[in-house]
Structure 1
Amino acid sequence: MDPHVWQVMVDAFPQLLFKGITVTIPLTIISFALSMVIAVVVALIQYSKVPVLRQICRFYVWVIRGTPLLVQLYVVFFGLPSIGIMVDAFLAAVIVFSINEGAYNAETIRGALESVPQGQMEAGRCVGLNYFQIMWHVVLPQAFRTAFPALGNSMISMVKDTSLAANITVAEMFFQAQRIAGRTYETMAVYIEVALIYLIFSTILEYLQRRGEKKLGKYGTN
C-alpha cells in the first residue's frame, strides 16, 4: 500500500471512531429508545382496536413506511424553516429517525402482540388482573420475546441509516469521512475505512442481540 494512503488511514481512524462513539452511537441509542416508546403506544392502540386512534395510527404507519427516510429528513430540516420552525440538525435527525423507526417497530410489536394466545388474557382475568395489568405483566413480556430478534435487526439497520444524517449536516461518522476524503482526495481508502467501522459497530450489536435472544429463550422455558 502507498505510504501516503496508509498514513491517511492511520490519521483518519481515531477521528472517525471518535465521531462514531460521540455522535453516531448516541444518535442511534436516543432515536431507537424514542422509537420504541412510539412503537409500543401505536401497537397497543392498534391491538386494542380503539376506533379513531387506531385509524390515526394506521395512517401514521402508512405515511412513514411509504416515504423515503432521506425525504423525511429533508422535510424536517430544510422544510420546517420555510414555515418559521428552526430545528437543530442533530435534533432533526433524532425526530425523524424516531418517527421513522417507530412506524416499523410498531408493526413488529403489533404482530408479536397478536401472536400471544387469547387464552393469556382470559387467564389474567381469572386471577383478578385488570386489562392494563394483563397487558403489562402477561401479554407485553411474551410479545417482546417474540419481537426481540426483529427489533434487534432494526437497531442494527439504524446504526447504518444514521449515515444519512450527513445530508442535513449532522457531524456524525460518515460526515467526518466525507470531510477527510475531500481534504486528502483518498476517497477509496477513507470510505472503506468508515465502512469497516460501521461493520464493527454492527458486529458488536449482532453479538449482543444473540446473547439477548439466548437469555430470553432460557427465560421463556422457565
Structure 2
Amino acid sequence: MSFQLVLDYLVSPAFFHGALITLLLTVTALVFGIVAGLVIALLQEARFAPLRGLALVYVWLFRGTPVLFQIIFIYNVLPGFGIRLSAFLSAVIALSLNEGAYMAEILRSGLRAVTRGQRTAALALGLTRGGVMRHIVLPQAMRIVLPPIGNQMIGMLKTSALVSVVAVEELLLVANQTASANFRYFEALSAAGIYYLALSTIFMAGQAWLERTLDPKRSRARKQRRTGLKALIPTVDIR
C-alpha cells in the first residue's frame, strides 16, 4: 500500500480526464433524462389515449430492462440497422433514455401533487394552460421533486461506470486499466473512489443550495429582512 502512489494517481492527467468524462456523462444524461421525463410525464396526463399508451410503453420498456443491457444493445445492435454511433454517444443515449423513464415517474408525482383547484383558479383569473403550467404548477412541483432528482443525480454518477463495457474512458475504466499494468489495484481504485466521493459531495452541496433557494419560507424571510432594512433607512428631504 502506497499513499504516495494514490496521490500520484489523483493528480495524474489520465485520472483527471476520466473524472471529467464521468462528470460529462452524468450531467449530459441527467439533463436529457429530465427533458425526456418531463415529456413522458406530460404525455401520461394527456387526454388522448394513444399518447398515454405510448408513455406507458416507454416507462415499461426502460424500467423493465437493465441499463447495462440498454447500453450494449444501442452500441452493438444499432450498427446492424445502419446506425453507427460512437461509444460515448451510445452511452449518453442509453443513460438518458433509462433516466427519462425514472424521471417521468418522479415528475408525474410532482405535477399531481399540485391540486386541481389551484389550476382551476388560475384559469379563472385569465391565465392560459401554458401559463398555469409555467407559473403555478412547475414552481411548486420543482420543490417537491428536487430531493428525488438529487438522488437520481448521485445514482447516475455511479451508474455511469457501466459504460466502461463499451470502452468509454470514464473514471472506473481508467482505474482498472492503470491497475492492470502494475497490479496495484488498491491504489488505483482508492484514487477513483476519492474522485467519486468528491463529485458526489459537489452534487449533494448543489442540491442543498437549490433546496434552500426554492424554500418559500426562506424566500419570505429574505423579503421581510429587505423590507425591514428599507424601513430603517431614513429619507432625506432635499427641497
TM-score interval (norm. to shorter)? over 0.9
Q: Which residue of 2 aligns with 1:197?
A: 195
From 180, 183, 193, give the equivalent of 2:181. Answer: 183
Q: Equivalences for 1:28-43 in 2 at 5 Å?
A: 28-43=26-41
CA distance in 1, matches of 2:193, 2:172: 9
CA distance in 2, matches of 1:67, 1:200: 30
Q: Which residue of 2 aligns with 1:81?
A: 79
Which digits, 9 at most, give the CA deviation of each residue in 1:136-169, with x for residues without a partner?
Answer: 1111111111101111111111111111111111
Q: How much identity, in percent, do the aligned residues show?
A: 35
Q: Equivalences for 1:125-204 in 2 at 5 Å?
A: 125-204=123-202
TM-score normalised by structure 2 residue count: 0.86
> For this pair of structures, how many residues does the alignment match?
218
Which digits, 9 at most, give the CA deviation of each residue in 1:35-62, with x for residues without a partner?
Answer: 1110111111112343111110011001
CA distance in 2, matches of 1:110, 1:139: 11
Name which one, 1 or 2, has greater alpha-carbon Rg: 2
Which amino acid in structure 1 is aligned with residue 162 of structure 2? L
Structure 1 pair 76/204, CA: closer, same or farther in 2 (3 Å)? Answer: same
Deviation at 1:182, TM superposition (A): 0.7
From 115, 118, 121, give the equivalent of 1:120. Answer: 118
CA distance in 2, matches of 1:191, 1:199: 12
CA contact (8 A) 2:7 2:191 kept: no
Give 3-state SS (helix, strand or coil) of 1:170's partner. Answer: coil
Q: Equivalences for 1:33-72 in 2 at 5 Å?
A: 33-72=31-70
CA distance in 2, matches of 1:129, 1:220: 27
Q: Which residue of 1 aligns with 2:23?
A: 25
Deviation at 1:83, TM superposition (A): 2.7
Structure 1 pair 169/94, CA: closer, same or farther in 2 (3 Å)? Answer: same
Give 3-state SS (helix, strand or coil) of 1:87's partner. Answer: coil
Q: Establish whether residue 11 from structure 1 lines up as the match of residue 8 from structure 2.
A: yes
CA contact (8 A) 1:47 1:114 kept: no
Give 3-state SS (helix, strand or coil) of 2:98's partner. Answer: helix
Which amino acid in structure 2 is aligned with residue 9 of structure 1? V
Structure 2: runs of 5 or more not aligned: 221-239
Structure 1: runs of 5 or more not aligned: none
Deviation at 1:7, TM superposition (A): 4.3
Q: Which runs of 4+ in 1 moved over 3 A?
A: 5-8, 218-222
CA distance in 1, matches of 2:135, 2:201: 32
Deviation at 1:6, TM superposition (A): 3.6
Pick which of 109-118 and 207-216 moved more: 207-216
